[in-house]
Amino acid sequence: MLDIKFVRENPDVVRQNIKNKFQDAKLPLVDEVLRLDKENREIKQELQALQADRNRISKEIGKLMAQGKKEEAEETKKKVAEFAKRMEELAAKEKEVEVDLKKNMMIIPNIIDPSVPIGRDDSENVEIERFGEPVVPDFDIPYHTEIMEKFDGIDMDAAGRVAGNGFYYLMGDIARLHSSIISYARDFMIGRGFTYCVPPFMIRSNVVTGVMSFAEMDAMMYKIEGEDLYLIGTSEHSMIGKFIDTINPEEKLPYTLTSYSPCFRKEKGAHGIEERGVYRIHQFEKQEMIVVCKPEESPMWYDKLWQNTVDFFRTLDIPVRTLECCSGDLADLKVKSLDVEAWSPRQKKYFEVGSCSNLGDAQARRLGIRVKTKDGKKYFAHTLNNTVVAPPRMLIAFLENNLQADGSVKIPAALQPYMGGQTVIEVKQDK
249 - beta bridge partners? 372
Q: Which of 8, 280, 314, 370 is catalytic?
A: 280
- What backbone torsions phi and psi does residue 262 show, to the nearest 5 degrees? -75, 155
Within the chain, how many helices (H) and strands (E) appear? 13, 18
Which are the contacts of 420, defined by CB distance < 8 A and separation ≥ 6? none
Among candidate residues 180, 344, 355, 357, the one labeled active-site is: 355
> Where do the DSSP E strands lie in 94-227?
126-131, 154-155, 169-170, 195-197, 202-203, 222-223
Q: How far apart are CA 176 and CA 395, in angstroms?
A: 11
**Active-site residue flag, 265:** yes
Distance CA 104, CA 237 (A): 22
State how far the Cα of 50 lies from the Cα of 218, in Å rounded to an integer: 43
Known catalytic membership, residue 352: yes
Q: Which of 149, 341, 393, 400 is catalytic?
A: 393
CA distance 306 to 355: 8
Name the catalytic one among 46, 130, 352, 370: 352
Longest dimension (CA), the chain: 109
CA–CA gap between residue 388 and residue 353 (Å, rounded): 9
Using the 8-state DSSP alphabet, how is residue 403 labeled?
B
Omega into 11 within 30° of 0, i.e. cis? Answer: no
Is 393 annotated as catalytic? Answer: yes
Point out the catalytic residue in the list 265, 321, 365, 366: 265
Could you confirm whether 280 is annotated as catalytic? yes
Burial of 422 (0-12, 13-18, 19+ CB in 10 A): middle
Residue 333 and residue 358: Cα distance in Å, rounded? 9
d(CA 409, CA 317): 12
Annotated active-site positions, please?
A: 265, 280, 352, 355, 393
